[in-house]
Structure 1
Amino acid sequence: MELLSNRLKSVYDMVDPESRVADIGSDHAYIPIELVQNNIIDFAIAGEVVEGPMNISKQHVENFGLSNKIQVRLGNGLDVILGPDLIDTVIIAGMGGILIENILSKSTSEQLENVKNLILQPNIGEPLVRKWLSENNFEIIDENIINEDNHTYEIIKAKKIKNPKVLSESELLMGPILSKTKKEAFISKWSRKLESYEKSLKNIQRAKNIDQDKVNQITNNIELVKEVLK
């Protein structure tokens, strides 16, 4: 039974075989169920912060007969991870970049002790997520971009590393890998964003009191996007 949308399938595809996974905000535990069913992994935690979704996830796991391999837990962010779990891969998908950054920033050294990979799918605010990764010893090793239900989603996989590559402004904004591969969805997204930036700039410049900082930021973004798209 195929449980995953294209967005979740893209997240699923980034999980290394034999990982020990914590899926935070698990959304019915669909990804852990698919991973275990397809023998990609044999242990996962599905974390939920609200009791209702947790009960739904628990029911789904029981329906598939996977309660011995997938533990559904109630907790805030990475609080569902315990030392003995030896979690090496954390998935956080379907949240805003601010919330993902907040969850990661509040994590303890014990929760991240064994974590080698982070697979993150922010709905918005991708630069915030990339900034946190680059400042916390994670290097982006894979990215994907897909269109689904009139929204463009970016999926980011990062590996723990001692001296991660410093990301440029352009790479923080548009992604170090996405800006090289330049998939159709990427070109489409940033062509639209470029139009939006240019309209915003015109509107600001018509105002009586011009916010020069905003003008500078938008002008900078326009230059970065044009450079990558050319």
Structure 2
Amino acid sequence: MIKDLPLSYRLKTIATYLSKGTKFIDIGSDHAYLPSYVCLNDPSAKAIAGEVNEGPFNSAKQTIKKYDLTGQIEVRLGDGLDVLRPNDSVYEVVIAGMGGTLIRRILENGQHKLRNITRIIAQPNIDERDTRIALTTLGYTIVHEQMIEENEHIYEIIVADLVTDDNQTKWTDKELFLGKILLSKRDDLLIKKWQSQLAAHRKIIQQMKQAKHLNQSKIRQFEKEQTWMEEVLANNE
């Protein structure tokens, strides 16, 4: 039955960071393929599939019914963490496949729902820095970062655990932008991503400098980011 579940390599990789026997919420679950995959592989796991739109919400319910997982997975309609209820024994959150700024908004708006959450697994499609800022300011420490490539797009998976003491690791602006753990790994995908991004960044800076009304602070920020990219690539030579 698992063989016919259409789960991407990206989502399978995300699933490896969930604890065995977990109870988790998948925010923006779409067809609920990730919770279904996890629960089919782990009968002791339970999940809530949260979806804000009616169409994907109904698709998720159909998936749960198809794989006979109504005893393990509950599908709820709502915005972000709003679908969590006070009596839910949920300890892990997956929030994947959306922009990093949206992930940040969802986590910050729902921070009062994070009291019992010990792990957050985030996979922003863009604006990874915003996701890292949210995680590190909401009482979590980033413990894993992984890059994967799928369909010619490079994704970053960011895993953060709840800080249980006062030893919150500080991240510099550069580390928030590039990924502190990714910088320490320095794998081929890191180089590939920033080689591609550097050219686009230079073009944006050039366009901003040619604008009628110059935004100097934004130009300085982009130039700083360009320097960080160049440092990564220079260290690879």
The verdict on a shared fold, with TM-score over 0.5 as the criterion, is yes
Determine which of 115, 118, 132 is the counterpart of 2:117.
115
AA matched with 2:79: N
CA distance in structure 2 between the aligned counterparts of 1:5 and 1:127, rounded to whole angstroms: 24
Letter in 2 for 1:156: I
Cα separation, partners in 2 of 1:223 and 1:45, compared to 1, 3 Å: same
Contact 1:16/1:40 (<8 A) preserved:
no
- Determine what percentage of the aligned residue pairs are the same residue: 38
Residues matched between the structures, number: 229
Residues 141-185 of structure 1, C-alpha deviation per residue, up to 9 Å, x if partnerless? 111112222322111110010442111111110111111112222
- 1:118–1:159 contact (8 Å) kept in structure 2: yes
Instruction: Give the residue type in structure 2 aligned to 1:167.
Output: W
1:61-88 CA-partner distances (Å, limit 9, x unpaired): 1111110011111111111112222110
Two-structure CA RMSD over aligned residues (Å): 1.8
Segments of 5+ residues of structure 2 without an aligned counterpart are: none
Match of 1:197 in 2: 201
User: Is the CA contact (8 Å cut-off) linking 1:17 and 1:40 kept in structure 2?
Assistant: no
Unaligned runs of 5+ in 1: none
**Aligned counterpart, 1:129:** 131
* Residue of structure 1 aligned with 2:174, choices 159, 170, 174: 170
Which residue of structure 1 lines up, in the alignment, with residue 19 of structure 2? 16
* Cα distance between partner residues in 1 of 2:101 and 2:220: 23
Spell out, residue by residue over 1:105-139, the C-alpha distance to the aligned partner (whole angstroms, 9 max, x if none).
Answer: 11152x21210000011111110110111111111
Once the 2 structures are TM-superposed, how far is the Cα of residue 202 of structure 1 from its aligned partner?
Answer: 3.7
| Greater RCO (Cα-Cα under 8 Å, separation 6 or more) | 1
**Cα 1:40–1:138 shift into 2, 3 Å:** farther
Q: Does 1:143 align with 2:170?
A: no
How far apart in 1 are the matches of 2:228 and 2:99? 23
Determine the structure 1 residue equivalent to 2:65.
62
Match of residue 98 from structure 2: 95
Instruction: Please give the TM-score of this superposition, normalised by the length of structure 2.
Output: 0.90
Q: Given the superposition, is the C-alpha separation of residues 206 and 16 from structure 1 closer, same or farther in structure 2, using an over 3 Å criterion? A: same
Q: Which moved more, 1:53-62 or 1:193-202?
A: 193-202
